Amino acid sequence: MIPSLTTAQMIEVDRAMIEDYHIELIQMMENAGRAFAELARRRLGGTVQGSSVVVLCGNGNNGGGGMAAARRLHNWGADVVVALTKPADDLRGVPAHQLDILRRMKIPIVDSASLRSTPSLILDAIIGYSLSGSPRGAAADLVRWANAQAAPILSLDTPSGLDVTSGRAHRPTIRASATLTLALPKQGLSNPEAKKYVGELYLADISVPPELYAKMGIAAPSLFAGSDIVRVEA
């Protein structure tokens, strides 16, 4: 059995990674972004060459993971556009660092009002497990835009708008074809009512030491011996 985490437990995992093990946020973000890009490649049949991909990014750490994925997809030959929920100059910390890389690579960056493309795939990295209430403003606009497209949607960690502890879907909430959650599944993702938003559930390795889980009293099996991404069966 794969254990699941509450929001409070995931906050503690992130704290311990950084403070106790000195595995920095940018390292975790790179791991998440690489896995997210790899799942996108698999969903596009094994190659992204020539595919149109829109990556929807919030201004927090989830958005930073989306930007790391966008960079890899661009390098692999995809036609990538990144849409932000906030003006670029409002980003801070590691997400701002990720955005600076995209700017230097000249990857197109737009706001929610400027999206006009018809993508092959949409990556949702708008809001992660820190969701507080319903998506608002540009974040809500991007959720509605994504749900109105014919393209499949992949969500990073959780579909934006879904409470990861309760599984409650706010209005609006992304309806993903698949969700790549990080470290361990979040408790709410297994709620039967959440399945229509989560789609297929996958789990990605962001290099959490097993000793960290043991100190929290969590019996986590060795999940990633064969692959950085594993399917979580319903």
The domains found in the chain, sorted by start residue, are 7-232 (3.40.50.10260)
pLDDT per position as a tens digit, 130-187 = 888 899 999 999 999 999 999 999 999 999 999 999 999 999 999 999 999 999 999 9
- Segments of the chain with pLDDT less than 50: none
pLDDT at 234: 62
Q: Identify whether the C-beta of residue 88 lies closer than 8 Å to the C-beta of residue 63.
A: no
Cα torsion through 210, 67, 127, 184, rounded to 10: -20
pLDDT at 1: 83
pLDDT at 113: 81
> How many CB atoms within 10 Å of residue 149?
15
Q: Identify whether the C-beta of residue 186 lies closer than 8 Å to the C-beta of residue 5.
A: yes
pLDDT at 79: 97
Cα torsion through 5, 128, 142, 96, rounded to 10: -170
pLDDT at 132: 82
Return d(Cα 54, Cα 124) in angstroms, integer. 9
**Three-state secondary structure call for residue 38:** helix
Cα torsion through 78, 68, 28, 141, rounded to 10: -100
**Three-state secondary structure call for residue 158:** coil
> Which runs of consecutive H residues, i.e. helices, occur in 82-155?
93-104, 137-147
Separation in Å, CA 233 to CA 39, 163, 189, 199: 16, 20, 12, 11
DSSP conformational letter for 45 = T
Return d(Cα 112, Cα 154) in angstroms, integer. 18
pLDDT at 18: 98
**Three-state secondary structure call for residue 127:** coil
Strand partners of residue 156: 180
Cis-peptide, bond into residue 108, ω within 30° of zero: no
